[in-house]
Structure 1
Amino acid sequence: MRTFKLLLISFLSVYFCNAQKIKPEEVKDVMKKVADWQMDHINDSYSNKKPHHPLHWTNAALYVGMAKWAEMADDDTYYNWLKGIGDQNNWQLHERKYHADDHAVGRMYAALYRKYNQKKMLKPTKEQFNFLIHHPAKTKLNWATPYHQDRWNWCDALFMSPPVWADLYNITGEQKYLDFMFEEYKATTEFLFDEEENLYYRDERFKGKLDNGTKIFWGRGNGWVYAGLTDILSNLKPQTKEYEYFLDIYKKMSKKLLEIQTPKGHWAMSLLGHEFYPTPETSGSSFFIYGLTWGINNGILKGRNYKKAVINGWNAMTGYVHENGMLGYVQPIGAAPGNASPDKTEVYGTGAFLSAGSEIYKMAKDN
């Protein structure tokens, strides 16, 4: 009887592993379908009544994922598309000099610089960031203070700007970019990170508030942070004080994300309030899958539970891709848990999905 039980357990383990296997070619197929649909619909209105500006943060988040897909794709269509956007906008950042959202397109410029090594691609970003180093914002992080968003006082900002600083540090080797980013990131974390839950408040307004008796940690907001952490770590040298600092936050968040993933594979729009927000949301969830899978691929997150989480998550995300390639269940622009539906999409959701797929593909190839 004992032998039979052991054989049964062994059989079920093998069956589970095979059932959970993801095929690399299927990952590429769905990524291409989603990328192509988004390129064809880049001028749709989505959350707003008019299309987003090409340098708007929404599109910048798309470009981050699109650049990862371009590196995997079998032709230069996607690189050429991204390069065209840079050329048409003279490789400038968006309008506001200090605002993190308007720095985000610098991520795409850095990715293209790494491929083409053309100085013009990074020159305006370097000039603007050099100015910020010498003329740093002196505002407080409190939400009600004047010019408060001249610093990173909302958690989304940790995706939009810090990874660009990390890119510049990695590309140029100039410590000043890392030093500036590190100090500002620490200030934001001390202000918005909940040490009990290992999650970030969206901004000061949510600290101390409850929603149906639970603390309010916005799903996509923490997705922004987590994906940003992943990209910062990718740019740093292990064993440095900066790497260890970001790695500590990353590991704490990773453990928490494993605990609060929903049975369906996604993460709730209010991370601790799944029963009150049962609707899937694909932008935040895709960012979590991206970051978790990166950790697996880099030997940081170990154990079967992490792999099971990302496989379940990825299978859930692909289930929300329409036949035509549109990714559904993307929460519109917001700052708090809200609503999502099968017919709602946004460019940043596509960017998050493509980022997730880039790491899922690597994992699937290695298995």
Structure 2
Amino acid sequence: MTYPLRFSCPVYRLAASLGAWSLALLLTAAPALAQKLPRKKEVLKVMTLTNDYFMRKWPDPGQDIMTNKLRPSHIWTRAVYYEGLMALYATDKQPRYYDYAVDWGQKHQWGIRNGITDRDADNQCAGQTYIDLYQIDRKPERIRDIKACIDNMVQSDKVDDWHWIDALQMAMPVFAKLGVEYKDDRYFEKMYQIYNYSKTQHGGSGLYNPQDALWWRDKDFVPPYKEPNGEDCYWSRGNGWVVAALVRVLDVMPKNAPHRPEYEQLYLAMMKALPPLQRPDGFWNVSLHDATHFGGKELSGTALFVYGMAWGLNQGLLDKAQYQPIVAKAWQAMVQDGVHKDGFLGFVQGTGKEPKDGQPVSFTSKPDFEDYGLGCFLLAGSEVYKLK
């Protein structure tokens, strides 16, 4: 049996030596401790631990993934992991991380799951890492297929592809990276057209609710759909995907790129909406406006919000006094309550699109795919590591 890392926390070690009464006092003081940023070496240590667990479990990055059926390992779940791995590599340039990512690309011949005519954002997600690896070693085969795939979309009049909000994270950074690489605003313009259709048209009048500054996952959840408590259904990880999309686009777009101000405005609006929804323990619930609907700790959405907030702090876009304690509390919660001694991550909701999917979510529950939750966690860690 494995136990969460919280038992190595100084608060708990000290309390064990002083007795139950002191434990109560120290736990009362725990929220103050939770607001302190972790040391960089501690952040890197837990990132390394969790990633090593995964690399040991999947020594062959080309191996197919078997859940309810067999799938190739360049689907979106694994592609999100490689986003996190590349963030870890940027933090700690171990050659084995780079080699593992290159091996993954080579095993799939740097291809898209259904070929260059594939318009599915989930399948295009692998292109984020392909482009990153191309920019490290400019071998044309690394970028050939993802560029051809996105070029087909740029040259098309179709703009209704991203009918679920996860798609924004899967595909928007690909368009942005290509726009930067080729200094071609057509990628930025097409990205905006498809994004804007999702925001303002899908589901009737768009999947974004400006009143709450949150997104419905897809047309199935726009009003009159309600959660059991009568609130709108805002799925944590779904909104986390949008936050990650904005961060990853803004992080690479030139300051004068088309539509950048709107992306910044949306990012800041979402950042304002999220702090009041954080749980007392530091996590966010799977249902952001209904804590009773499969309520409880959930790591993947929490990690994506930490990623977004820590990035904003590092960019000087968010107020340090307000957001740094939120980030520190959430990161500490994930590490102490979610990380097993061997590096496995607990409290990760399985795949789906709403609170009831992938349940139950607990410290020992295993999601159907272990890769995307780790990717989210590594992205969060890469930005927490940079905080001063």
Q: TM-score range by the shorter chain?
A: 0.7 to 0.9
Determine which of 118, 129, 133 is the counterpart of 2:154.
133
- Aligned match of 2:8: none
What SS does structure 2 have at the residue aligned with 1:244? Answer: helix
Q: How does 1:339-358 map to 2 (within 5 A)?
A: 339=359, 340-343=361-364, 344-345=366-367, 346-358=370-382
The count of corresponding residues between Structure 1 and Structure 2 is 340
**2:34–2:328 Cα contact (<8 Å) kept:** no
What SS does structure 2 have at the residue aligned with 1:58? Answer: helix
- Aligned match of 2:248: 231
Moved more, 285-294 or 93-102: 93-102
- Aligned match of 2:51: 35
Aligned letter for 2:131?
A
Shift of 1:129: 1.3
**Deviation by residue 1:273-305 (Cα, 9 ceiling, x = unmatched):** 123333111111101100110000000011312
The reply to whether residue 24 of structure 1 matches residue 45 of structure 2 is: no
Instruction: State the alpha-carbon separation in 2 of the partners of residues 229 and 51 from structure 1.
Output: 32
Determine which of 146, 151, 154 is the counterpart of 2:164.
154
**Deviation by residue 1:297-317 (Cα, 9 ceiling, x = unmatched):** 000011312101100110011
What SS does structure 2 have at the residue aligned with 1:28? Answer: helix
Stretches of structure 2 lacking an aligned partner (at least 5 in a row): 1-30, 201-205
The reply to whether residue 193 of structure 1 matches residue 208 of structure 2 is: yes
Aligned letter for 2:385?
Y
**1:47–1:332 Cα contact (<8 Å) kept:** no
- Aligned match of 2:178: 168
The reply to whether residue 206 of structure 1 matches residue 216 of structure 2 is: no
Shift of 1:47: 8.6
- Aligned match of 2:292: 275
Shift of 1:238: 2.3
Shift of 1:335: 0.7
Over 3 Å counting, the alpha-carbon distance change for 1:329 and 1:94 in structure 2 is: same
Shift of 1:239: 4.9
- Aligned match of 1:6: none
How large is the Cα RMSD of the aligned pairs?
2.1
**1:156–1:224 Cα contact (<8 Å) kept:** yes
Instruction: State the alpha-carbon separation in 2 of the partners of residues 218 and 46 from structure 1.
Output: 26
Shift of 1:186: 1.1
Aligned letter for 1:122?
I
Stretches of structure 1 lacking an aligned partner (at least 5 in a row): 1-14, 142-150
What SS does structure 2 have at the residue aligned with 1:211? Answer: coil
**Deviation by residue 1:98-133 (Cα, 9 ceiling, x = unmatched):** 111010000111111222222221111111111222
Over 3 Å counting, the alpha-carbon distance change for 1:36 and 1:18 in structure 2 is: closer
Instruction: State the alpha-carbon separation in 2 of the partners of residues 68 and 84 from structure 1.
Output: 17
Instruction: State the alpha-carbon separation in 1 of the partners of residues 88 and 216 from structure 2.
Output: 30
Aligned letter for 1:295?
G
Aligned letter for 2:222?
K
The reply to whether residue 90 of structure 1 matches residue 133 of structure 2 is: no
- Aligned match of 1:100: 121
Shift of 1:198: 0.5
TM-score (norm 1): 0.88
Determine which of 245, 249, 268 is the counterpart of 2:266.
249
Moved more, 55-64 or 43-52: 43-52
**Deviation by residue 1:248-295 (Cα, 9 ceiling, x = unmatched):** 110000000112111111111001112333311111110110011000
- Aligned match of 1:262: 279
Instruction: State the alpha-carbon separation in 1 of the partners of residues 344 and 111 from structure 2.
Output: 29
Shift of 1:135: 2.8
- Aligned match of 1:328: 346
- Aligned match of 1:313: 330
Q: How does 1:71-82 map to 2 (within 5 A)?
A: 71-82=90-101
What SS does structure 1 have at the residue aligned with 2:175? Answer: helix
What SS does structure 1 have at the residue aligned with 2:265? Answer: helix
**2:180–2:253 Cα contact (<8 Å) kept:** yes
Shift of 1:17: 7.4
What SS does structure 1 have at the residue aligned with 2:345? Answer: coil
Over 3 Å counting, the alpha-carbon distance change for 1:258 and 1:350 in structure 2 is: same
Over 3 Å counting, the alpha-carbon distance change for 1:248 and 1:18 in structure 2 is: closer
Identity %: 30
**1:296–1:306 Cα contact (<8 Å) kept:** yes
